[in-house]
Amino acid sequence: MAQVKVYGLKEHLKPNQAHVSEAIHSCIVEAFEYPVEKKFQRFFNLEREDFIYSKDRTERYMIIEISIFEGRSVEAKKRLIHLLFERVCNAMKIDKNDLEITIFETPKHNWGIRGLPGDELQLNYKVKI
């Protein structure tokens, strides 16, 4: 499972949302060998007064948070981060300084999906990669 949250200023993120969505999803599919049909994303298009960030970032600054089941290797997570910097920065036409990524890992039993704890689900993809 991968749940994605994307935060940015509405005026820059909203017009590019479809491209960013596809870029993020392609990275997850490739790095985690994730099924292409499993896409779970939420976009937070923020007003200027609701998005406070350091002065060394531009107004195109964005944050990506990804929640996943624990179990992926360090190499797989690093691959995801490298792909995200490449593809999302290209889709948004931003400098790498304007993108921050956080991956949150939790045990499967901390997830509730389709009426079950995550560790009781039958998955159609690998987590240990």
pLDDT tens by residue, 24-42: 999 999 999 999 999 999 9
**Would residue 29 count as lying in a domain?**
yes
**CATH number of the domain that residue 81 is part of:** 3.30.429.10
Residue with tokens 């007064």, as numbered in its chain: 49
Helix 74-92 to helix 17-32 angle (10° resolution) is: 160
**Would residue 129 count as lying in a domain?**
no
119 — pLDDT class (breaks 50, 70, 90): confident
Residue at 8: amino acid letter: G
**Would residue 28 count as lying in a domain?**
yes
Number of domains the chain is built from:
1
Assess whether pLDDT exceeds 90 at residue 103: yes
Assess whether pLDDT exceeds 90 at residue 121: no
Which residues share a beta bridge with 43? Answer: 6
Residue 106 Cα distances to 2, 55, 75, 96, angstroms: 11, 32, 18, 27
The answer to whether 20 and 91 are in contact (CB under 8 A) is yes
**Would residue 125 count as lying in a domain?**
no
The answer to whether 28 and 76 are in contact (CB under 8 A) is no
Domain region containing 90: 2-120
The answer to whether 87 and 97 are in contact (CB under 8 A) is no
